[in-house]
């Protein structure tokens, strides 16, 4: 069996997105660039962006790893919880 890359493995995951209830919210106006850089660089799904002086974020595609919570709760990350019943990521390759 051929060895799969991380991107290939992630591509097999299924996401059941609750579009009306984001499980993570961010402080869009947070302005400490050191903190912002942490989440920009650390999120394995690349869901954080910084554009026009604002942090932008989409919870769609979140791997629920908790990295952004550990790094920046009450800073860039305003709130973090697991998605509500049945929603969220379903891993296919570990």
CB of 31 to ligand SF4, least distance (A): 20
CB of 1 to ligand SF4, least distance (A): 27
CB of 2 to ligand SF4, least distance (A): 26
- Neighbour tally for 52: CB within 10 Å: 5
Residue placing its CB nearer to ligand SF4 in the complex, 3 or 63: 63
Residue placing its CB nearer to ligand SF4 in the complex, 2 or 68: 68
Give the C-alpha separation, 70 to 68, whole Å: 6
Residue placing its CB nearer to ligand SF4 in the complex, 11 or 44: 44
Give the C-alpha separation, 58 to 45, whole Å: 10
Residues at the contact surface with ligand SF4, assessed by CB under 6 A: 24, 43-45, 47, 62-68
CA dihedral for 24, 77, 57, 67, sign (positive or negative): negative
Question: Smallest Cα–Cα separation from 56: which of 17, 79, 25?
Answer: 25
């Amino acid at each position: 069996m051929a060895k799969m890359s991380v991107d290939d493995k992630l591509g097999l995951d299924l996401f059941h997105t609750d579009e009306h209830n984001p499980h993570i919210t961010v402080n869009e106006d947070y302005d400490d660039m050191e903190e912002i850089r942490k989440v920009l660089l650390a999120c394995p799904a690349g869901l954080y962006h910084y554009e026009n002086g604002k942090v932008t974020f989409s919870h769609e595609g979140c791997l629920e790893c908790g990295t952004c919570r550990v790094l920046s709760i009450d800073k860039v990350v305003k709130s973090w919880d697991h998605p509500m019943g049945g929603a969220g990521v379903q891993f296919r390759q570990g």
